[in-house]
Structures are given as structure tokens and as C-alpha cells.
Amino acid sequence: REAVDALLHDVLGYGEVRTRPRDFEKDLQWGQALEITDRLSELARSRGRTFQVKLSNTLVVENHRPFFPASEAVMYLSGEPLHVITLNLVEKYRRACPAVPISFSAGVDARNFPECVALGFTPITTCTDLLRPGGYGRLPKYLDNLEERMRALGVRQIGDYVVKAAGQGEEAIRRAVPPGPLQAALAETLRSDAVDLAGVVARSGPPGLYDELVRVAALLNTPVVVERATRDPRYRAEANRKPPRKVGSRLALFDCINCDKCVPVCPNDANFVYETGVLRTEYQSYRYEKGAVKAFPGGVFAVTKAHQIANFQDFCNECGNCDTFCPEDGGPYIEKPRFFGSLQAWRSLAGRDGFFAERAESIDAIWARIRGVEYHLEVDRRLDRGLFTDGVLQLEVRHSERRVVGAFAGSRAREGHVIDFSAYLNMALAVDGVLDPLKANPVNAPYPGPFPLPSGERPG
């Protein structure tokens, strides 16, 4: 813990991040880790296998930010500071267990990926970086950067790259290969613009020598790369403090600044784009009065952009990452139309607004909860007829015109009961857009099913 704190606070400047003694005390201790390494390495060897460690996991620290509820005692640090902490751990572990291969996962991004490869890590895992704008689209840059480094060094194979990447190649050859013609040939190709260490060893070296050369080079590279990363200002607090920009406006069901950042930053692909018609209309809602359903002015309903965002609830684990990167306030996964994958799922979260929609031949059936009120809309697209109800009053609608052509009361209607026509407009625009078969999304994609869709079902 002292070593982690020294790196976090004194070297990297994250003075506000606090570790807790108890988290280190209950975790695996250094001596135990070495003992486990020895035991499992031996067991693996006896079975013709290799024991390997993965470094590391996220770092448990005190929750000191308002982002998470105060009831959460801890949060988990990842990204830039974890990269440096874990590289230092790698150096310490390799001094103790130089023969154990390491899989690395800590703050890997496109810029440091070539360095991670130079340390002989396999596999290399990235996560935090993929939660930033661009999402999985950030991955090709990792390989572009590695290719650029490999071309600059004149190498064509990963092993040759490891040997040459940090200027330790000649020493690695001296340590791994006995003096003689093979050692000289390797040193010569290493210095050339067309390095072929693998080819030289394959032609005149014993089996296993190339792997040993690469392993020795990775070990020699370790203090060099770790020192470089530890000194690099890009990992320091001052370079990583700036939160993503907010513009001060608040999200609503429709319309936003359309930056689309919430789509790729979602690790679960839960946010998606869809197109809807723009609409501005003064609408009327309906009230049950003295045995009749009467219209009264409802307000103005406006959707100003065709490009919209929705959320697929069944994929969303509410990690909040889209909220972090959305320039507007409120959180896309909370404010944007939330579509459930089944009627059962929609029902099971009864305290939450959202939609379930299904298209069957010419009929669209939509269940919605808006501001806590449940509605049902059934649209016969062939007849252009919508039946919209809250379970008490029912409106018949010319769907393409968003216009009421009939209003009816059910047996449960009570004096003064109101059905809000803006709920229909919300449902119509969101669902017409999301069910458009020309734009695939998690809602309109054909699933093998079965969906629990009792025909003719209504809320209430």
C-alpha cells in the first residue's frame, strides 16, 4: 500500500485519491502471491502447461466524488494512474519471477499499446479506453501505432519488435545466445533496416532459442519502459483532471445536440440512433365530463430534429458512462426513450418509464409508461388507424396525420379523468422511428423469440 500511495500521490499527483488499509490487508499478500506462483508453476509444468499471471485489476479507493452515491464507500480506479501503478508492479514481479509470462490490463490505450507489446505481454486487454468517445472504433489506432513503430525499427515480427523496441536487443542477444557465429549474425540483422532475428534463429539456432531471446529482451525492456511511463506527464493528475465538457442544457425524450457520443461510449451497445419525423403541433387532450369525452387545449408538442437517440433497456446495466460523456445533463439512459426487449421486462420494471413495441404484419402494438402513467397504442398501418388508450378513455387516431377522429369512454371512466394526447405523440414518433425496418436497431432486429405477447392485451 505504501508503494501504491507513493506512486499515486508523490509521483502522479492524485493526492485526493485515498486507498484504505483494510482493502490491502484482506487482499492477496506479496509472499502469498510468490508462493502461489511457485506452486502453480510447478503444477503447470508437471502437466505440460504454462502458468501465467494477469496484472492487474482495478484499484479499490475511497469514494470521494459526488458522481456516485455517498452510500458507496469505495470506487474503482482505472485508466492512466493504474497503468503506471501496474507497470511498477510488473517490474517488481518480474524481478521475483522472471520466467512467468504476464497478461496485462491496466490503462492500455493506443499510445501505450506498442510499449505494452514491447514488454512481451500476451494477451493485452483494454477496457477503460473503449469507454471513451469512439468506443471500439478506437481499436484500429492501436495496431496503426504498433505498425508505425515496427516499420520505423525495420522489423516485421512481434518477437523481433520486442527485441529491438527499447534498445536492449544487443544485450538480450549477448545473454540469450552463446558467443559465436549465431550471436554475430543476430547482432548484425538487429542493426539492419530489415531485421530478421526469427529467420536467423530458424536457420541455424536450436529449438526454443528465439522464444528465450524474446523473453530475455522483454525482461530487459521492463525497467526502461516502466521508468519512461512513470516519468511521462500524460499519466499525471493534471493531465487527466478535466471532466468531459457539459453545455448546460438538459436532455428530454426527443432532441439533443446530436453529438452521438453516447452510442460508442456504451460498453453494452445499449444506446442507438433512429430517425423520426419532425413535428410541431398544438394538440388537444381529452377529459371525461358529464358522460362525454371532451377536448381541451393540451399545449404545444415539438420535435425539431429527425436524428434521435434511444436506449435498449435490456442491454443497459446503468453504468452511467454515457452520462459522463454526454454534453447535456440528465443521462441518455435515463432521459431518452427506453425500449424494453419484452413485455415481461417492461412489466417487471413498473416504476420506470419506457416502451415495448412489436410489429406483426400490418399491426404495431406499443405499451408505454410515461411519467408513471401506462398507455397502449395499437396501429393498423394498412388502415392508418390508431387506437390509443390509458385503460379508461380511448382515442381513435388518423395515425399518419396524428389527428383524433373519435373519443370514447370505458366503463371505468370517472368525472374529470384526463387522457394526455402528448403521450400518444411521444409513442407515435418514437415507435414509428424505432420500428422502421430500414434502420436496424435492437428493437426492430428479428430475434428468435419467443416474445410473451398476448394478443389484444391492454394496460389497466
Grid-cell match 493531465, residue found: 239
Of 184 and 247, nearer to ligand SF4 (C-beta) is 247
The residues binding ligand SF4 (CB under 6 A) are 251, 256-262, 266, 268, 270-271, 309, 311, 316-322, 326-328, 332-333
All 3 cell numbers of residue 313?
433497456
Cis peptide before 56 (omega within 30 of 0): yes
Residue 139 C-beta: closest distance to ligand SF4, Å: 18
Of 118 and 322, nearer to ligand SF4 (C-beta) is 322
Of 62 and 260, nearer to ligand SF4 (C-beta) is 260
Residue 426 C-beta: closest distance to ligand SF4, Å: 16
201 three-class SS: helix
Residue 412 C-beta: closest distance to ligand SF4, Å: 37
Of 266 and 366, nearer to ligand SF4 (C-beta) is 266
Helix axes 181-191, 197-204, angle to 10 degrees: 160
Residue 256 C-beta: closest distance to ligand SF4, Å: 3
Of 200 and 322, nearer to ligand SF4 (C-beta) is 322
Q: Percent helix, strand, coil in the chain (nearest 5)? A: 40, 20, 40
At residue 232's C-alpha, the angle toward residues 170 and 115, to 5°, is 40
Residue 228 C-beta: closest distance to ligand SF4, Å: 33
Residue 348 C-beta: closest distance to ligand SF4, Å: 17
Residue 306 C-beta: closest distance to ligand SF4, Å: 13
91 three-class SS: helix
Residue 270 C-beta: closest distance to ligand SF4, Å: 4
Residue 86 C-beta: closest distance to ligand SF4, Å: 25
Of 254 and 288, nearer to ligand SF4 (C-beta) is 254
Of 41 and 426, nearer to ligand SF4 (C-beta) is 426
Of 143 and 306, nearer to ligand SF4 (C-beta) is 306
DSSP 145-199: HHHHHHHHHT--SHHHHHHHTTS-HHHHHHHHS-TTHHHHHHHHHHHSSS--HHH
Tally the residues of the chain.
460
All 3 cell numbers of residue 114?
506498442
> CA 214 to CA 284: how far, in whole Å?
75
Residue 324 C-beta: closest distance to ligand SF4, Å: 8
All 3 cell numbers of residue 301?
408538442
Of 43 and 257, nearer to ligand SF4 (C-beta) is 257
Of 145 and 271, nearer to ligand SF4 (C-beta) is 271
- Please enumerate in sequence order all residues whose Cβ is within 8 A of that of 170, keeping only pairs 6 or more positions apart, or say none: 187, 190
| DSSP H/E element including 422 | helix 421-434
Residue 325 C-beta: closest distance to ligand SF4, Å: 6
Beta-sheet strand order (sheet of 271-275): 271-275, 307-312, 338-339, 354-360, 363-370, 373-380, 385-389, 393-398, 403-409
Of 68 and 408, nearer to ligand SF4 (C-beta) is 68
Residues 53, 102 contacting (CB under 8 angstroms): yes
Please enumerate, as own/partner, the contacts of 198-205 that have beta carbons within 8 Å and a separation of 24 or more: 198/157, 198/159, 198/160, 205/177
DSSP 427-453: HHHHHHHHT-TTS--TTTS--S-----
Residue 449 C-beta: closest distance to ligand SF4, Å: 24
Distances (CA, A) of 306 to 255, 273, 388, 427, 432: 8, 10, 24, 15, 12
**What are the beta bridge partners of residue 367?**
356, 376
Cβ neighbours around 85 below 10 Å, total: 24
Of 222 and 271, nearer to ligand SF4 (C-beta) is 271
Distances (CA, A) of 196 to 157, 159, 165, 182: 8, 10, 14, 13
